[in-house]
Structure 1
């Protein structure tokens, strides 16, 4: 039982240190979401996975909390980020291969919610 507690603790620590929340490890067949906070390590990793042509549309300032800017960012991700860039991100994030039922959304930097948002 102690090893299970340690594994859970390590999982929580790693998720928090990378600055993202996800339910993408629960069931590969269900829709899942990766939530990114601006300027956290996972968000920076996502930006590095983008093609140059996609980078002109995406990118928020550190600590962004403006919901209008965040909603616009999510729309731009949905519209302008290619499947290849998303596949590259999921591979580097080590959350299994990308599939069309996996979503990437940005949440406010000050968000403390553990509830994963629906697809934007």
Structure 2
């Protein structure tokens, strides 16, 4: 059952990441900064600076970092691609759990046959 537990933990992590994609959104640069702050867009690598624009888009990633984007289009493109990737991973985990259940059922059936004195080949 450890395998099923590991698959459930992986499934939970995927669900949390899918939920995290919906938590991203528009952010505004602080106006009281003493120096301009900038970053590279996580998708197109365009330089975005607080001295040039007022807003950017942000999305959580794994860990403490966040993905930052220069525009809503870049954020949406990343979000769509990441969501499709996570949905494919979730589908694979669900298929693995189904195969594991079938394996356990067959193993239990064979065990019961042997326990009753029959031989299963």
On whether the aligned pair clears a TM of 0.5, the verdict is no
TM-score tier by shorter-chain length is: under 0.3
What TM-score do you get using the length of structure 1 for normalisation?
0.26
**Higher helix residue share:** 2
> Scaled by the length of structure 2, what TM-score is found?
0.25
Higher RCO (C-alpha 8 Å, min separation 6): 1
- Bigger fraction of residues in strand: 2
